[in-house]
Amino acid sequence: MVCSHLAGKTYSDLYELSVKDPETFWGSIAKERLAWTKPFDQVTDCDLSSGKINWFLGGQLNVSVNCLDVHVAKDPDRVALIWEKDEPGTEERITYRELLEMTCRLANTLKSYGVQRGERVAIYMPVSPMAVAAMMACARIGAVHTVVFAGFSSEALAGRIQDAQCKFVITCNQGVRGGRIFDLKSTVDKAVKSCPSIRHVFVAKRINNSVPMGKLDISLDEVNHIAVTSCSVQIRKPIFFNLVFIYLCQDSTIGMVCNKGEIVMICLYTCLLLQYVFDYTPGDVFGCVADIGWITGHSYVVYGPLCNGATSVLFESTPVYPNPGRYWETVQRLRINQFYGAPTAIRLLLKYEENWVKKYDRSSLKTLASVGEPINHEAWEWFHNVVGDGRCPLVDTWWQTETGGVCIAPLPAEPGAEIRPAMAMRPFFGIQPALLGEKGQIITGNDVSGALCISQPWPGMARTIFGNHQRFMDAYFKPYQGQYFTGDGAYRTEDGYYQITGRMDDVINISGHRLGTAEIEDALDEHPDVPETAVIGIPHEIKGEVPFAFVVLKESASENQQAVVEELRHLVATRIAKYAVPDHFLVKSRLPKTRSGKIMRRILRKVAMQDTSNLGDVSTLDDPSVVSEIIEAHKHYRSHAAKK
């Protein structure tokens, strides 16, 4: 998997080479692993102080060629995608040959309707092979894609179209998830009314229902047939363009730019990651259950697995449809080898009986992994012992949208290396972590905490914020000069391992004691009746700030709320300190989450501070009705507290 002259070296040897001689390390891998039309002249030209980030200068390649054509030439009938549709047992398998044909049909169609090199195309589609083909088709003709999560509202979609200055949209008539049908086309129609830049809307058919079509709309089911019969199936000369995609962050319209160098890195990086972090071997079925609208889906559903020639699972449904055993029934039926999911989904499943896991055969699993936020100890133990039967390595991966791929994880490591529960542990190749203090000084030694930074560039990092490079500099490079600031805090253990302590802006100051909310959450989550919690800080006239805990209980404990809350108070006092015990506990059956499983803490903060007049965009939530439930519960809680 690593290039031939690096094969056989240990993790320690490879890591040392990657940070001391990145040009040799990344340059040799790029030459051997990727198909270049024009070889690069220089591996890197970077300066973190000035925000200059350039890799593989002078080189030319096409991403879709590396993800599709190279594999079709060797093994065209290898399965590229397994589309796990919303209804169990209705999966479809798409070979590399079929995906290439689908991509070229769409690429030809886009070109015939005027999509030009460098123009932006918004993709607003459910998880499906056509959505993957849309990404590949844009890359193939040199257009720039921005995938917008197909759960955003029309207002949110319009904002992202405007920010990226898109001229085209690719969508579906409708989507289906969790047994419910979503009208995607009507959402696009509303968005486009405020987006005069849009020239055409290309509409694919996910469900056999008709939708109104307007002057801008092009039915892909009609024109794709014409395109493939009138044009060569393969575009013989794919176009080379520096900018590949703009990724719009989940909770904002900040557009992180991924250019050719970074997409090269995503392909290279995840090729290595699949081997060293996920124990991928050729022939495995790689199951990342993220939506392709998020960066995890970009890196670990589409670009990484396809560049690696892997079989990647496209998961369209939810972890509880039609029942809480959905993930594990899918593992059994598809014989998934690597399972990569979010801690929030694992905590959701914790509420249900273990039989929903154990009734299914999970013997195909080799590696379990979590992504999105640090996983708490109870969820880690359940995931490892119940899902993995205690035999599968469980890796808690730390990375960000801006990093393009995993930066810290328990593996890579030599066989048999230690894995500690709920700890990211070891830096990946090319990543040089540093902990910095409040005055900007580098903190040396072990058993220390600080702001987590990365001291040298790596090819996967974002290049800029689209249209606002100064904001990019201010957010990531000015807080600590010469360092990339992650925004997270971390603890380096006595053994030199890294433990992520949470976002630095989620640190609260309680009577002069600075404490991360993630640390309180971790203590609360140790209670056997508590599958998940969310803690935020709210102002206090004497203490400065105090913790407010939103707590989800298992169904079996719902009748003993007060007793559990008292046990939670004692647990935090024992595990951390008395000052860390939350002043407020609000028990609810669920928390507001995006469809990717991220808890929307900004909404909880507004609710706790009784500032619900403007909650912002809630269209990304899996079920927006949970917000009104929590608001009403909080009003009742405050009213009851006032009477006391």
> Which residue's structure tokens are 């849309």?
134
In 3-state terms, what secondary structure has residue 358? Answer: helix
pLDDT at residue 423, as a whole number: 94
**pLDDT for the residue 639:** 81
Domain count, the chain: 2
The residues with which 584 forms a beta bridge, in sequence order, are 548
Asked if residues 31 and 2 have their Cβ atoms less than 8 Å apart, the reply is no
pLDDT exceeds 50 at position 244: no
Tell me which of 378 and 361 has the higher pLDDT. Answer: 361
Contact 133, 292 (CB under 8 A): no
Reported confidence tier of residue 601, pLDDT bands at 50, 70, 90: confident
Round to whole Å and give the CA distance between 375 and 378.
Answer: 8
Q: What is the pLDDT of residue 102?
A: 95
Residue 627 neighbours by CB under 8 Å, 6+ apart: 592, 603, 607, 615, 618, 621
Chain segment 120-157, per-residue pLDDT in tens:
999 999 999 999 999 999 989 989 899 988 887 888 78
Q: Strand 243-248 vs strand 217-219: parallel, antiparallel, or unpaired?
A: unpaired
The pLDDT-based confidence of 263 (bands split at 50, 70, 90) is: low
DSSP 127: S
Q: What pLDDT sits at residue 598?
A: 76
Cα distances (Å, whole numbers) of residue 391 to 282, 529, 560: 21, 25, 35
Domain boundary among 233, 248, 263: 248
Q: What is the pLDDT of residues 394-450, one digit of tens each?
A: 999 999 888 888 999 998 877 788 999 999 999 999 999 999 998 899 999 999 999
Return the higher-pLDDT residue of 97 and 578. Answer: 97
Q: Can you tell me the mean pLDDT for 66-93? A: 96
CA dihedral sign, ordered 337, 340, 341, 346? positive
Beta strands in 284-344 (DSSP E): 285-288, 311-315, 338-341
Residue 471 is assigned to a structural domain of this protein:
no
Q: How confident is the model at residue 4 (pLDDT cuts 50, 70, 90)?
A: low
Higher pLDDT, 612 or 643: 612
Band (pLDDT 50/70/90 cuts) for residue 60 is: confident
pLDDT category, 584, cuts 50, 70, 90? Answer: very high
Residue 469: the pLDDT is 82
Q: Is the pLDDT of residue 531 over 70?
A: yes
Q: Is 319 within the bounds of a domain?
A: no
Of 620 and 113, the structure prediction assigns the larger pLDDT to: 113
Q: Average of pLDDT values for 365-386?
A: 91
Residue 409 belongs to a domain: no
Which pair of tokens denotes residue 220? 């892909």
- In whole angstroms, give the CA distance from residue 201 to residue 185: 9
Q: Mean pLDDT in the chain?
A: 87
In a domain, 342, yes or no: no
211 CA to centre of own chain: 31
**What pLDDT was estimated at residue 596?**
64
The DSSP output letter for 438 is T
In the structure encoding, which two tokens stand for residue 99, read together? 């995906």
Model pLDDT, residue 484: 94
The two three-digit tokens of residue 583, written as one number: 């002043």
- Indicate if the pLDDT at residue 597 is higher than 80: no
Structure tokens at 58: 């002078």
List helix spans (H) across 361-507: 377-382, 469-476
Residue with tokens 């005055």: 439
Strand-pairing partners, residue 172, are 204
In this predicted structure, the answer to whether residue 106 has a pLDDT above a threshold of 50 is: yes
452 inside domain? no
Look at residue 607 and tell me if it is in a domain: yes
Sign of the C-alpha dihedral computed for residues 376, 377, 383 and 386 taken in this order: negative
Of residues 294 and 320, more confidence is placed in 320
Supply the pLDDT for residue 312.
98
Q: In 277-342, which ranges are continuous DSSP H helix? A: 295-297, 304-307, 326-334
Does residue 389 contact residue 409 with C-beta atoms inside 8 Å? no
Indicate the residue among 248, 267, 297 that finishes a domain.
248
Place of tokens 């405050």: 638
CATH code (residue 115): 3.40.50.980
pLDDT > 90: percent of the chain: 56
- Of 331 and 29, the one with more pLDDT: 331
pLDDT band at 351, cuts 50/70/90? confident
162-197 pLDDT, tens digit each: 988 999 999 999 999 999 999 999 999 999 999 999
Assess whether pLDDT exceeds 70 at residue 643. no
Which pLDDT band holds residue 543 (cuts at 50, 70, 90)? Answer: confident
Does 480 score more than 80 pLDDT? Answer: yes
pLDDT mean over 271-281: 87
Q: 4, exposed or middle or buried, with CB in 10 Å at 0-12, 13-18, 19+?
A: exposed
> How confident is residue 248, by pLDDT bands cut at 50, 70 and 90?
very low
- Choose one of 203, 233, 248: the last residue of a domain: 248
For every residue of 373-392, DSSP letters joined together read SPPPHHHHHHIIIIISTTTS
Residue 558 CB contacts under 8 Å (≥ 6 apart), including other chains: 589
What pLDDT, on the 0 to 100 scale, is given for residue 250?
42
Fill in the DSSP letter of residue 443.
P
Average pLDDT value for residue range 345-352: 88
Both structure tokens of 619: 């269209």
Mean pLDDT of 292-319: 92
Q: How far apart are CA 23 and CA 267, in angstroms?
A: 17
121, 218 contact by CB (below 8 A): no
Q: Is the pLDDT of residue 512 over 90?
A: no
Angle between helix 22-33 and helix 11-20 axes, rounded to 10 deg: 110
Kind and range of the H or E run holding 222: helix 220-230
Q: What is the mean pLDDT of residues 326-337?
A: 98
Strands (DSSP E) contained in 237-383 are 243-248, 255-259, 285-288, 311-315, 338-341, 367-370
Who wins on pLDDT, 325 or 477?
A: 325
Which conformational region is residue 323 in: left (phi greater than 0), alpha (psi within -120 to 50 degrees), or beta?
beta
Per-residue confidence at 556, pLDDT binned at 50, 70, 90?
A: confident
The residue length of the chain stands at: 644
Cα distances (angstroms) measured from residue 587 to each of 201, 549, 558: 45, 8, 9
Q: Are 456 and 432 in contact (CB under 8 A)?
A: yes
CA dist 558 and 552 (Å) reads 9
Tokens of 297: 């889906």
Instruction: Note the pLDDT of residue 607.
Output: 92
Angstrom distances, CA of residue 584 to CA of 263, 522, 534: 45, 17, 12
pLDDT for 224: 67
Average pLDDT over residues 91-115: 96
The DSSP code for 298 is I
Winning range, highest mean pLDDT, from 17-26, 56-65, 78-87, 287-296: 78-87
More confident residue, 454 or 33: 454
Q: Would the pLDDT of 257 be above 70?
A: no
Q: What local confidence, expressed as pLDDT, does residue 226 receive? A: 60
Domain boundaries, position 184: 63-67+96-248
The answer as to whether 422 is a domain residue is no
Q: Tell me, what CATH number does 615's domain have?
A: 3.30.300.30
In a domain, 188, yes or no: yes
Q: Which of 223-227, 231-235, 328-332, 585-589 has the lowest mean pLDDT?
A: 231-235
pLDDT at 230: 42
What is residue 266's predicted lDDT score, i.e. its pLDDT?
65
pLDDT of residue 644: 60
Q: What is the structure's pLDDT at 228?
A: 52
